[in-house]
Amino acid sequence: MLRKVLIGALMFVAVAATGFAQGKTDLSGTWKLNVDKSEFGPVPGPSAQTDVIEQSGQTIKINVSAETETGKLQYTETFTTDGREVAISPDAPGAHPNPEVTLQSISAVWNGATLDVSQKLTYGSDPVTGVSHYTLSADGKVLTISSDYQSPMGEAQRTFIFEKQDASAGGAMAGSGTSGRMSGSTSSTGSTSMGSGSGSTSQASSSSTSGKPNFSGTWVMDPSKSDFGPMPAPSSGTAVIDHKEPSVKISVKQTNEMGDLAFQMDLVDDGQKVSTWQIFGSDAKSTAHWDGDALVINTDTTIQDNAMKFANRYTLSPDGNTLTVHGHMSGPMGEVETKVVYAKK
């Protein structure tokens, strides 16, 4: 019962502020290895590496270009995220970066917002098994691949830290919301040019005098466009936002099968001022700051003695009629990616 109550409480917080959904992370993009921040363990790592990831449904294709002590390497790995083991032909281009290593099979499965990729390899004549955990940062800009390998020689751990290079590649999380920033040519959803026509006019009407989007209005949740994962969708939800730079007041009301919820956040978007508000009888402490044209709200709270962290990203459509709130929740049950879509009333 306690677990059910906790899950329900977490869902309320996430849906009300961002939407509780176990949306699968979208790893698509061009990723450059940060060699200084990475840890290669006992095996020498590359001096440079760029991974281009294409993710479509359950299929992931990774094109790798690397420079190692043995020379330059280019190869491609393609696999699905349904847990099915894919055998790799010995003649397939795309051997492992170390020429002494041969990849024999690969499989992958989602574990919440983390992609777990299992590999069977040989190092010389020795069998090696490895599991790599692909985790995306809340802002979608850093991809961490933590790997554990088992072989007759013992265990080895490696951590590769990649930084995203193509901010225009669209949302780095389909359901978590790292949308491409609006830079005058690309919208927060990475889809609409703002240079001319109605798109430019509509954006101007939804922007504040500071040039940032203005989120003021009454917003009605659209459950059909939102993603709540395994949890039941709220029957209704409304957010009323009063945005007068640098003040942002957000009032939320929501109806769910477990009851009603209402709360208010009074924020200052300077990234410094800590605003305290109440959720389920506990203090929640939030800060807000701008990341391009997205308003990011970070919240720390405790629910039934469980410490929770939320990173919520608010973006506005070019016409100012759709508010999308992506988020990342972390707590004792793991990582959860979220998305809620609101239509302006």
User: Residue 318's pLDDT is what?
Assistant: 87
Are 183 and 313 members of one domain? yes
Are 114 and 202 members of one domain? no
pTM over 0.75: no
Q: Using CA of residue 20, residue 21, residue 27, residue 28, what is the dihedral sign?
A: negative
| Number of domains making up the chain | 2
* Structural domain of 250: 2-23+173-344
Residue with tokens 């992370």: 25
Domain stop point among 109, 140, 164:
164
What digits encode the pLDDT tens for the residues 73-118? 888 888 888 888 888 765 554 444 455 677 788 899 988 888 999 9
What digits encode the pLDDT tens for the residues 256-309? 766 677 889 999 999 999 999 887 678 889 999 998 889 999 999 887 677 888
Are 143 and 14 members of one domain? no
Are 180 and 324 members of one domain? yes
Are 113 and 40 members of one domain? yes
Domain stop point among 129, 164, 199:
164
* Helix, strand, coil percentages in the chain from 3-state DSSP, rounded to 5: 10, 55, 40
Are 139 and 187 members of one domain? no
Are 188 and 77 members of one domain? no
DSSP state string for 196-224 = SHHHHHHHHHTB-TTSSB---EEEEE-TT
- Give me the CATH number covering residue 212: 2.40.128.20
HSE (CB half, 13 Å, CA atoms) of 68?
15
Give the number of residues written for the chain: 345
Domain stop point among 143, 164, 185:
164
pLDDT of 342 strictly over 80: yes
What digits encode the pLDDT tens for the residues 20-43? 333 467 899 999 999 999 998 877
Q: Which residues pair with 59 in a beta bridge?
A: 56, 80
Euclidean distance between CA atoms 155 and 132, whole angstroms = 14
What digits encode the pLDDT tens for the residues 148-183? 888 887 888 899 999 999 654 333 333 333 333 222
What digits encode the pLDDT tens for the residues 192-207? 232 333 333 333 335 5
Contacts 24+ apart (CB under 8 A), 280-284: 280/9, 280/12, 280/13, 284/13
Are 192 and 73 members of one domain? no
Are 332 and 185 members of one domain? yes
